Amino acid sequence: MLNNSTNTPLIITGAAGWLGRALCSHVALNAERLDISQLIALVRDSEEQVLVQSSLPKDNKLDLRIITGDVTNTSDIDRLFASSPSAFDLVHTAGIIHPKKIAELFAVNETATKNVMQRALHSGARRVVHISSNSPFGNNPHTHDTFRADEPFNPYLAYGASKMGGEIAVQETVSQGLNAVIVRPPWFYGPFQPARQTTFFSMVKSGKFPVFGDGTQRRSMVFIDNLVDGVCRARAWEGEPGRGWWIADTQAYRVSEIVETVGRALTDEGHIVKKNRLRLPHLLGQVAETADGFIQRTGRYVQQLHVLGEMNKTIACDISSATVDLGYVPAVDLYEGMRRSIRWCAQQGIEL
């Protein structure tokens, strides 16, 4: 059941991030339909402010307020909520996945989430949507398994632990009266993507995307516009607080299928794509995971190692709860989503 009669201001934390910008863009374009009267974007600095502004349509008519501050700074959070209207919705996208130091993960994903939720509770938030991840739940036990809507925590390394901490903070605040729900996107892709995703396209194009074993491990994916749609539906859902949903494509894809589809999308967008030949033994994935874990225990973080260590895992989720509760149906499939992403890169002048 959806509730569209709110005409409420929307606060977005992490507004200059990948999802944050996509959300700002979508809200600006659909403010009337979404019944959003004002967009309040939390950014860290003037550089991020420019990023948010550039994500909005040129003829944007939505009232945009930009607040500069950091979610890890409690006085900044206080300032964000102090300057907010008495009734508002909040989408808490602020998070960090590839930090310089491990401590940043917990500072942003756990402690800051806890602080944001507490302030939101005491500032009269109407509805909070917290953006979590698959990482608090780890990997599926085997390639055919699919995560159901409700799964036991099994965090994958420090990032998973920090996002789990975030979810627990949300649930604790819900038990104190906050009207919050959780959206869990797995691997997402699409416009506003950071540089690391460009590398993904480049690797597929050059035939050097690392496929472990026979590539039958499965990954759930979601195009950013589908994810934004899911977030907006979660915001409008009238149901018991504390609920969480996977927002992804209906079926998980085999890694080999992902590489093939991206290759096809690149080809159809005019790129020359080499046949993918980089097959790696599973053992290498396990070695990378072990090394990643070891390095993380020393407080450091190596992005490439982390990504490699996760590539031989199955992370597949079942979106049926989102379909039943929110009416969420992914509108853009993998092939079309990848083509749009490639076009977006071209529009931005990003060379693949």
User: Under the criterion CB under 8 A, does residue 60 sit at the interface with another protein?
Assistant: no
Single residue of 33, 58, 142, 275 touching another protein by CB under 8 A: 142
Q: Which is nearer to another protein, 168 or 350 (CB)?
A: 168
Q: Which is nearer to another protein, 149 or 346 (CB)?
A: 149
Residue 241 beta carbon to another protein: minimum distance, rounded to whole angstroms: 16
| CA–CA separation, 81 and 131 (whole Å) | 19
Residue 139 beta carbon to another protein: minimum distance, rounded to whole angstroms: 8
Single residue of 17, 155, 186, 241 touching another protein by CB under 8 A: 155
User: Which positions ≥6 away from 174 have C-beta within 8 Å?
Assistant: 180, 241, 242
User: Under the criterion CB under 8 A, does residue 144 sit at the interface with another protein?
Assistant: yes
Name the one range near another protein by CB under 8 A: 124-132, 143-151, 201-209, 250-258: 143-151
User: Under the criterion CB under 8 A, does residue 260 sit at the interface with another protein?
Assistant: no
Single residue of 164, 236, 259, 288 touching another protein by CB under 8 A: 164
User: Under the criterion CB under 8 A, does residue 284 sit at the interface with another protein?
Assistant: no
Tokens of 70: 């950091």
Count of positions on this chain that bind another protein (CB under 8 A): 20
Single residue of 72, 153, 187, 271 touching another protein by CB under 8 A: 153
Tell me the H-state helices in 206-281.
224-236, 255-268
* 241: β partners: none
User: Under the criterion CB under 8 A, does residue 66 sit at the interface with another protein?
Assistant: no
| CA–CA separation, 329 and 225 (whole Å) | 12
Single residue of 33, 47, 141, 195 touching another protein by CB under 8 A: 141
Tokens of 88: 């508002």
User: Under the criterion CB under 8 A, does residue 326 sit at the interface with another protein?
Assistant: no
H, E, C per residue of 76-123: HHHHHHHCCCCCEEEEECCCCCCCCEHHHHHHHHHHHHHHHHHHHHHC
| CA–CA separation, 202 and 199 (whole Å) | 5
User: Under the criterion CB under 8 A, does residue 145 sit at the interface with another protein?
Assistant: yes
Tokens of 263: 């290759």
Please tell me what DSSP assigns to residue 349: T
| CA–CA separation, 312 and 314 (whole Å) | 7
Calculated CA dihedral for residues 202, 207, 208, 214, nearest 10 degrees: 130
User: Under the criterion CB under 8 A, does residue 290 sit at the interface with another protein?
Assistant: no
| CA–CA separation, 309 and 129 (whole Å) | 30
Q: Which is nearer to another protein, 150 or 351 (CB)?
A: 150
| CA–CA separation, 152 and 167 (whole Å) | 12
User: Under the criterion CB under 8 A, does residue 241 sit at the interface with another protein?
Assistant: no
User: Under the criterion CB under 8 A, does residue 45 sit at the interface with another protein?
Assistant: no
Name the one range near another protein by CB under 8 A: 136-144, 179-187, 212-220, 328-336: 136-144
| Site residues, another protein (CB under 8 A) | 136, 138, 140-142, 144-145, 148-155, 161, 164, 168, 171, 321
